[in-house]
Amino acid sequence: MSEHDSSQSPPDRRPLIAFAWLWVGAPLVYGVYELVEKATKLFTG
Amino acid sequence: MSPPVAPPGWSRWLVPPAALSVHLSIGQAYAWSVFKPPLESALNLDGTESALPFQFAIVMLGLSAAFGGTLVERKGPRWAMTVALVCFSSGLLLSALGAETKQFWLIVLGYGVVGGVGLGIGYISPVSTLIKWFPDRPGMATGIAIMGFGGGALIASPWTAQMLSSFGTDNSGIALAFLVLGLSYAVFMSLGVLLVRVPRTEKPVQDAPSAFEGVQVSAASAVRTPQFWCLWLVLCMNVTAGIGILEKAAPMITDFFADTSAAVSASAAAGFVALLSAANMAGRIGWSSTSDLIGRKNIYRVYLGVGAVMYALIALFGDSSKPLFVLCALVILSFYGGGFATVPAYLKDLFGAYQVGAIHGRLLTAWSTAGVLGPLIVNWIADHQKDAGKTGSSLYTVSFVIMIGLLVVGFVANELVRPVDPRHHVPAPRKAADVGARQQPESA
């Protein structure tokens, strides 16, 4: 039993990490895009 | 609800997005101004009345962070994030009901009081967990989360403006916007509730020392140390100096160059405000991460010392060069953001990770104080200078001299920070028992 447990490797978390960062990153990119659009008016407006 | 312990193989890189999902949501508070004009016309309010929900929210943020910090430490990050989700979202839903039924008191109660509790508990919810997961880079870890609070407004402002333009700016349109925000943030924040975990062991990183090594001080003892009050002063002075620019950024840049050939239009002034928000956000992650390399005391020397020099440059030469004015203002705002983001790691260095979240909550009363002090100084002085017949950059010269003085006071307070006296340290057996009790699995 213990031999079986020790041979089990933990699940691959990389897909979950990618999903989690995408979840928070996507709206942040939208916010930064809107901000950059507004900020350029300092030099063009 | 016991703190959720990470299963074997859990990645610490899942914790920053959990924290960000909460901070990006509660950062919506800084976008309150988008609701002000439509609320004023739909519910027949004046400017002072329409500011009430935001003011209540900020006061409740400070109070709930200060008084709820110990409970957050005891119950753990998942409990805290759940409370933040329920309070913040139901606050928005109550506001939707208030707007639909034209009951403004419901918006004050919902957004200001109930939602404000969500802001305070949500703000401190991931701090101590991040420090435990990233003992090697606490500045970077808390910088990511606190950057989210700045980023929240960047998302909520354009999104809310678009919703109001689609739904309409009458009371039903406002109610629908509140409803969509409340439901969307509930879903968005649930990622944090589901993902957040406390480390299985005190040493989640093999090559780094445990966050529990070294000095550990309880929250009750920390507030009795001079170090806490020196840091309180440092944060208060740094935030006041930042708000000095932030509060009147658009009229300030317009006034500075009003009598020159480089006059600033209203849309260019709005662009300047947006650029300041970007500097504020970048400072949170950039300077806070830098503090892991050069040390917390040194980075605050930069915030306060170089910040004072930047204010002096604006006061002396600001109206002769627009690029210089913009550059100095951006640096000051990046220090403002950096000051917020670095303080949890500074607290961890001084008081240990034992109750750092609760200590951070108590320190946030400095933010509430600065939130009143900063705008008061700049607005009061600018109004008096205007009454005295002054125009252009001279409207702000006295304010800037005061800001330099405040930054010098903060600089001296930072220099006075010394290691905490051993009589305040938590005895080792008690510390071990408390940490062990907090890290029992949920089934236990």
Owner of token pair 């935001």:
B54
How confident is the model over B293-329, as pLDDT tens digits?
999 999 999 999 999 999 999 999 888 888 899 999 9
Residues B286, B280 contacting (CB under 8 angstroms): no
Q: Please name the member of A11, A24, A30 whose beta carbon is closest to the beta carbon of B17.
A: A24
Per DSSP, the residues of B180-214 read: HHHHHHHHHHHHHHHH--B-SSS--STTS--TTSS
* Separation between Cα atoms, residue B7 and residue B11, nearest integer Å: 9
Q: What is the pLDDT of residue B75?
A: 93
Does domain B12-438 fall under CATH 1.20.1250.20? My reply is: yes
B271's tokens: 């662009």
> How close B179 comes to chain A (CA, Å)?
19
- Phi, psi for B5 (deg, rounded to 5): -85, 135
Inter-CA distances, B68 with B123, B368, B419, Å: 11, 16, 26
Q: What is the pLDDT of residue A41?
A: 78
H helices of B76-201, where?
77-100, 104-107, 115-124, 127-133, 138-167, 171-195
> How close B11 comes to chain A (CA, Å)?
7
Q: What is the pLDDT of residue B288?
A: 96
Q: What is the pLDDT of residue B442?
A: 37
- Phi, psi for B303 (deg, rounded to 5): -55, -50
Q: What is the pLDDT of residue B441?
A: 42
User: How many other CB atoms are found less than 10 A from the CB of residue B353?
Assistant: 24
**Residue A4 confidence class, pLDDT cut points 50, 70, 90:** very low
Q: What is the pLDDT of residue B321?
A: 87
The pLDDT mean for chain B works out to: 89
> How close A6 comes to chain B (CA, Å)?
11
B9–A20: do the CB atoms touch at under 8 Å?
no
Q: What angle do CA B227, B437, B211 make, to 5 degrees?
A: 40
Low-confidence ranges of chain B (pLDDT < 50): 440-444
Query: Measuring CA to CA, which residue among B269, B292, B83 is closest to residue B208?
Result: B292
Owner of token pair 């928070």:
A24
Q: What angle do CA B160, B166, B171 make, to 5 degrees?
A: 75
How confident is the model over A23-38, as pLDDT tens digits?
999 999 999 999 888 8
Q: Please name the residue of chain A whose CA is at the shortest distance from the CA of residue B194.
A: A20
Domain ranges of chain B: 12-438
* Biggest distance spanned by C-alpha atoms of chain A: 71
B148–A24: do the CB atoms touch at under 8 Å?
yes
For residue A10, is pLDDT > 90?
no
ipTM of the complex: 0.85
Residues B2, B77 contacting (CB under 8 angstroms): no
In this structure, chain B runs to a length of: 444
Q: What is the pLDDT of residue B212?
A: 72
More confident residue, B52 or A44: B52
* Separation between Cα atoms, residue B253 and residue B260, nearest integer Å: 12
The predicted model scores a pTM of: 0.87
Q: What is the pLDDT of residue A45?
A: 61
Residue of A19, A40, A41 best to disrupt the B interface, most CBs of B under 10 A: A41
Q: What is the pLDDT of residue A9?
A: 80
Q: Please name the residue of chain B whose CA is at the shortest distance from the CA of residue A25.
A: B17
- DSSP helix/strand/coil, B281: helix
Q: Please name the member of A10, A17, A32 whose beta carbon is closest to the beta carbon of B14.
A: A17
Q: What is the pLDDT of residue B433?
A: 56
> How close B148 comes to chain A (CA, Å)?
9
